[in-house]
Amino acid sequence: MKKQITVLSLLFLATAALFSCKKDDSSLKARIIGKWMVNKIEVSGNSNESLNGTFTYTINDYMDFKSNDDDQVELGMSNQRTIGSYIISLGKDFSMVFPEGTSYCTVSTLSATQLQFTAKMDKTNIVKKYYLTR
């Protein structure tokens, strides 16, 4: 009898543990993970004025926030692919680290189909506002 109670208790605990886990769909990371199409990027703060302005992109240009252990972000622009990483901070902030440097980002709009954020490049005056859609 004692053995049956022990087995039933273990079965109950295993079932409770299995079904008590809930998918995280409300955190910033959970909401930005996935592939986004880059519609346009507004750039300001470059010392070379020709590098400032609004730049529009094609359907082939994307930003993909991966859900892997490395928190990689892939940026595919004008047939060039760059791999970096992203780090989620508190609230609506995150940072992206690419070979050209670190950008500190603040989300202004986030829905199931739209992501807009402003990225300030570390140690520069360059600010980029990204307009992404799914």
- The amino acid sitting at 7 is V
Confidence check: pLDDT of 76 > 90: yes
b/e burial code for range 56-88 (CB count within 10 A of at least 16 → b):
ebeeebbbebbeeeebebebbbeeeeeebebeb
Q: Does residue 77 fall inside a structural domain?
A: yes
Of 75, 80, 56, the C-alpha closest to 65 is: 75
Residue 90 has pLDDT above 80, yes or no: yes
Q: Tokens for 4?
A: 């049956």
pLDDT of residue 20: 55
Task: Show the domain range for 34.
Answer: 25-133
Residue 6 resides in a domain: no
The pLDDT assigned to 93 comes to 96
Say if 36 falls within a structural domain: yes
- 3 lies in a domain? no
- In a domain, residue 113? The reply is yes
Residue 45 maps to which CATH number?
2.40.128.280
Number of independent structural domains in the chain = 1
